[in-house]
Amino acid sequence: MSKIATLVLAISATAACTRSADESDLRQKYCQADIASKLLNPETAEFHDFGFIPKATAAQQILEWSIAADQEKRESEGLVLPQKPEHNSEVAYFINQQLDSDEKSGAKFAALRVRADSRLGNKVTSEYVCRVWNDHCLCESSDQ
């Protein structure tokens, strides 16, 4: 292989890696903007560990948050009976249907941690699962 061909190949590979990194950075910024719009004190937000995850991992995390929130609600209403497994299956089915629909429309799934000041000024860490498209991002956490 000639020196020119090797140089062209190296430049092409570098450009592809840079473009991929730029796209990932842009998608991360979309997610950070979505999360910041939901925070009480967005100016204190610190974003950590952004990374793409499989759809199954996203679905499992959202299901766990949903079950925990439902159980908390039931306890606050004085209901001590555990949730029926059929209900959890229905919730899991709904979550999977939504994520399948998002995936078909081009979404990828990501997770990250966010530290921000709470109402009392304490630093609180929250985990988020995001659905990321090329031009926007929708994130949710157990705190919402």
Render pLDDT for 63-109 as a digit per residue (tens, 0 to 9). 999 888 888 887 888 876 666 777 788 889 999 999 999 999 999 99
Could you state, in order of their start, the residue ranges of all structural domains in the chain? 21-141
d(CA 123, CA 46): 10
Render pLDDT for 1-21 as a digit per residue (tens, 0 to 9). 554 544 344 444 443 444 456
Is pTM beyond 0.85? Reply is no
pLDDT score of 131 more than 50: yes
Residue 117 confidence (pLDDT):
94
Residue 38 confidence (pLDDT):
94
Residue 59 confidence (pLDDT):
95
Burial (CB < 10 A; 0-12, 13-18, 19+), residue 21, is exposed
Residue 5 confidence (pLDDT):
43
